[in-house]
Each structure stands twice: as C-alpha cells, then as structure tokens.
Homo-oligomer: A and B are copies of this chain.
Amino acid sequence: MSYVLHGYFRSSAAFRVRIALALKGIDAQQIYHHLRHGEQRSPDYLALNPQGLVPALEADGTVLTQSLAIIEYLDETVPGAALLPPDPTARARVRAIAQIVACDIHPIDNLRVLNYLRHDLAQDEATVARWYNHWIASGFEAIEQRLAEPQTGRFVHGDSPTLADICLVPQVFNAANFKLDLSPFPRIRAIFDHAMALPAFANSAPQQQPDAE
C-alpha cells in the first residue's frame, strides 16, 4: 500500500493524520499546500479534493478526505497500534472526546472562518483572538471534566494514545499560538506532555514539517 498525504504544516486536521500515520508506522509521502497562499484552491488540488481543504490522503490512488474518516480508515485497515479501543462504550467515549475538538472547537476557529470574520465582517485582530479563545476554552472545559473520569490514564482513554489524543494535541498547539491560558486545564496539559514524549506526536508537530515557516 502506498500513501500520499496532502497537508499543510499549520493545519491541525493534517497534523492529526500525520500522528495517526506515525502511530501506525506508515511512511507516507507528504505533499504540502500553502493554505495562506490559497494553494488548496489550485486546479490540480481541486481535481483531487473538490472541497479544497486539507488533509486528503491517497491510499493506493483512492482519495480519502476528512481527518476523522481518514484516521478511522487507517485504524480499520492497518494492523498495529489500535487508535480506538475494542469495547463499544469505550469507543463512544473516545470518539465523543475527539469530536469535542473536531466538531465543537476546530471548525469554528478554522482559518477560513477567521478570514470571514476579518474580511467579510471587518473584525479586528483582538476580536478574532477573543473569538478563537472563547471556543477553545469552552471545549477544553468540557474535555477537562471528561478527563476526570476513571477511564482516563496517561492518555485520554487508558495508557496508550487514541483518536482522542490525536485530536487533542494539535488543538493544544493552536491554543498556545493564540496565547490561551492553559493553567485551568491541568489534565489536558498532562496528557499533552505524555503525548509529546512520543516520537509519533513530536515528529508530526508543525515546526517539524519541511514547509514550516
């Protein structure tokens, strides 16, 4: 199986897929599209993913889109480290915490939404930063409470990383970029530290990508 990941160093959805590939031990070819230069709207990329968003993963030529769908596909098709636990209730917990990031935080703080606020609604950077941090803080408060549950270990669910950690860690990077105070979230910070001690997370970080600025 050959894999090509289309991403961007700063995209946290692409960051998620980089972590999943690394946890599965897959050495994918990486192609970077500069979102701030609009490269995701080039005719070549739109032919591959008409939505013009990253990430997209080519798996033996089949194009997969949407980071969570890609990661579940990898988990279903590639042996090795399991990214979801086997029990349905545990899977539901992991997916729910992943989706607090992927549905309740990240989409609202995505670059295209921030640009709509800036350009279409003429909001200044201070207002954009308040918006950004409002949605992260609200989602992180929910996650911090879930992390008090007994299923939490060194990672969100038990002692090995799952889909939930894969979503959480890139979101912590984003929070740091916008200088969100993380002191109210000690459980999130502990999991972040455990994750970043693993090469699969550390090597997938934005600054480690060849397109990093």
Binding site for B on A (CB under 8 A): 50-51, 53, 59, 62, 64-66, 68-70, 72-73, 76-77, 88-89, 91-93, 95-96, 98-100, 102-104, 106-108, 113, 116-117, 120-121, 123, 127, 130-131, 134, 142, 145-146
Contact pick for A113, options B53, B70, B108, CB 8 Å: B108
Q: Which of A89, A98, A134 has the most CB of B within 10 A?
A: A89
Instruction: Tell me if A66 and B89 are in contact (CB < 8 A).
Output: no
* A103-B102, A103-B107, A113-B108 known; A72 vs B50 contact (CB < 8 Å): no
With a cutoff of 8 Å between Cβ atoms, the chain B residues found around residue A59 in the complex are 89
Instruction: Tell me if B107 and A51 are in contact (CB < 8 A).
Output: no
- Chain B residue nearest to A70 (CB atoms) is B92
With a cutoff of 8 Å between Cβ atoms, the chain B residues found around residue A72 in the complex are 91-92, 95
Q: At the interface, is chain A mostly helix, strand, loop or mixed?
A: helix
With a cutoff of 8 Å between Cβ atoms, the chain B residues found around residue A113 in the complex are 108
Listed A/B pairs (9) with beta-carbon separation below 8 Å:
A51-B104, A68-B103, A69-B95, A70-B96, A72-B92, A72-B95, A73-B91, A76-B91, A103-B103
* A92-B73, A116-B134 known; A68 vs B108 contact (CB < 8 Å): no
- A68 and B96 CA atoms in complex are apart in Å by 8
Closest 9 CB pairs of A and B: A69-B95, A51-B142, A66-B96, A73-B92, A107-B107, A66-B99, A69-B96, A50-B145, A76-B88
